[in-house]
Chains A and B, each alone.
Chain A
Amino acid sequence: MKITPQEISHVANLARLHLSQEEVEAMARQLDDILTYVAKLNELDTEAVTPTTHAISIVNAFREDEVKPSLSREKALANGPMQNGESFVVPRVI
């Protein structure tokens, strides 16, 4: 298995990360090591095995659709790096 720097750049873009060329190359090597190690899972035949999605068996947790107290607008906006008292402000999208 060989992960190319191009693949890392592609995945970094999907993950919305900007990596320097140096970081891309280091990451390609490390990811390659890790995936080579992970390939040992292929020693096991799992054809008939159900994948685990929850560590314990729980059924859907439903609740009544009732209005309950929640954060005030002021509190919800308080940690926003840019906000105008009503909304979060972001760079122009269109």
Chain B
Amino acid sequence: MSLYKLTIHELRGLLGKRQVSAVELTRDVLARIEKVEDKVKAYITLDPEGALRQAEAADKELQEGTGGALCGIPLSIKDVLCTDGMRTTCGSRILESFVPPYDATVIEKVKQAGAVLLGKVAMDEFAMGSTSENCAFGPPRNPWNADYICGGSSGGSAASVAADECIASLGTDTGGSIRQPASHCGVVGLKPTYGRVSRYGLVAFASSLDQIGPLTKDVTDCALMMNVISGYDAKDSTSVEQEVPDFREALAEGLQGMKVGIPREYFIKGLDPEVEKAVQHGINSLREAGAETVEVSLPHTDYCVAVYYIVAPAEASSNLARYDGVRYGFRDKSSATLIDMYKNSRSLGFGDEVKRRIIIGTYALSSGYYDAYYKKASQVRTLITEDFKKVFETCDVLASPVTPTPAWKLAEKIDDPLSVYLSDILTISANLAGIPGISVPCGFSGAGLPIGLQLQSAHFQEEKLLRAAYNLEQRLNIFHLRSENL
């Protein structure tokens, strides 16, 4: 039996009954990585010995019957989450040899639940990008076709799940960075409500937008991961004291009484016809499952990219000021003065996209421009949030595409940053408004690349998202499909 193909809920059953050991499972996944990693290139750091040690410990707990919800389950982790003793690069030269002295809260939680950490997976540098090509250590590939991007910035997470190089993964989403690669790689990806999951130990990009979430092989696994990582954390002052339900219990059959809004503005000009067809098919399935659909309007959608590309770089320019070559990270040791040392360390350590965003952000926040850019963008952000508030008075979830097109070829848009920014138009609003969103596979393009359907809901309504996603998954019945190109 190929254990690496299975889901958390399938494996946790087998592990619990001792039909499979955590060591056996971890070995199987490591062998799978050995076989396909040359093509996928998902991992920046792989720790086979550490993983096997954790698996042995998990087996003890399983033997004693004390293992947690993820006991013995091998995970990959986006390289932006701090792991005690394991290098955390953020896909950047500037953190190439950074070894965190502590675990992020989510890492602590998955470890407590018994998970086995295989290693750290590739991403756009500091999570800035939509293709993972801005990774200083080379881009991961789309497991469905290695000539194509896997999406980003959590590209390594999505690719490693789709290629069965882990059982599930943790990613982060600042403007679509979980949902978009999940869509491009044909896996499930959830961005929780802002404040639902602690950001402590997540290396900050844009603090008012960043959120950690799971990438999994199916919706049930997504719910199980959410059960483990959600909850208030005193170490993150923006995490919210909100009761955490058992998300798996939300996965009931049937959507009777659920009202699904179809936002007019998300079916934009330039929407790929294959994407539209797959998403419409998904929406029909939601109707067949008992949901009522209604057309709705989010009139400020067209402004979200402009707002995002002021707010996110502004916050990034401030957050990334900490990389100064003094306390951690790369330092240019040839500089004679302090200012030269700052400038040379940062200029040699950061890649082009990161520098571009630092420049945009610094410009937008600089004296004389603040009102015209940052304040204006923050005001339009309020209008975008109010659009959602109004819409969620009349419907439970919104259904739409995740991205306007399927994945494109590597290097195709590398010299045209604005066109890549515009591809985020359908995912950015959720981050600006702080609401949750999920991407669920709903079909394939003619070229055989996956297409996802996005569901969004009001704050802290992840249960509704998971329930709708689960029904969609059961009806479409494509979630078990895997690439034959590996």
Q: Give the interface of A toward B (CB within 8 A).
A: 7-8, 11-12, 14-19, 23, 27, 30-31, 33-35, 37-38, 40-42, 44, 46, 49-56, 58, 61, 63, 71, 75-76, 78-82, 88, 90-93
Contact = CB atoms under 8 A, between A and B. Distances in A.
A63 B234 CA distance: 9
A30 B416 CA distance: 9
Given A50-B379, A76-B101, A79-B101, 10 more contacts: A15-B346, A17-B358, A35-B373, A38-B310, A38-B373, A41-B307, A51-B375, A56-B238, A79-B327, A81-B333
B309 A15 contact: no
B209 interface: yes
Interface stretch (B7-15, B40-48, B336-344, B473-481): B336-344
Contacts of B385: 52, 55
Contacts of B433: 55
Given A52-B378, A58-B240, A79-B98, A11 B383 contact: no
A44 B383 CA distance: 10
Contacts, number: 163
Contact of A37 (B327, B381, B418): B418
B341 to A, nearest CB: 5
Given A41-B303, A44-B303, A58-B240, A11 B379 contact: no
B347 A91 contact: no
B387 to A, nearest CB: 12
B244 interface: no
B283 to A, nearest CB: 27
B193 A56 contact: yes
Nearest to A60: B237
B343 A16 contact: yes
* 8 tightest A-B CB contacts, nearest first: A55-B434, A51-B378, A81-B331, A79-B328, A46-B379, A61-B237, A52-B381, A49-B379
B324 A91 contact: no
B63 interface: no
Contacts of B306: 37-38, 40-41
B379 A31 contact: no
A49 B383 contact: yes
A50 B359 contact: no
Contact of A90 (B209, B330, B341, B378): B341
B101 A71 contact: yes
A13 to B, nearest CB: 8
Interface stretch (B54-62, B64-72, B138-146, B360-368): B360-368
B102 A71 contact: yes
A17 B333 CA distance: 16
B382 A50 contact: yes
B289 interface: no
B39 interface: no
Nearest to A36: B418
Contact of A16 (B209, B346, B356): B346
Contacts of A14: 362, 366
A81 B341 CA distance: 12
Contacts of B3: none
Contacts of B350: 17
Interface string B407-437: 0000000000110010000000001111000
Contacts of A88: 326-327
B256 interface: no
Contact of A30 (B195, B325, B339, B356): B356
A82 B341 CA distance: 12
Given A19-B355, A41-B303, A56-B434, A93 B328 contact: no
A19 B330 CA distance: 17
Given A46-B379, A49-B379, A91 B346 contact: no
A25 B24 CA distance: 56
B319 to A, nearest CB: 12
Given A33-B418, A38-B373, A46-B379, A58 B359 contact: no
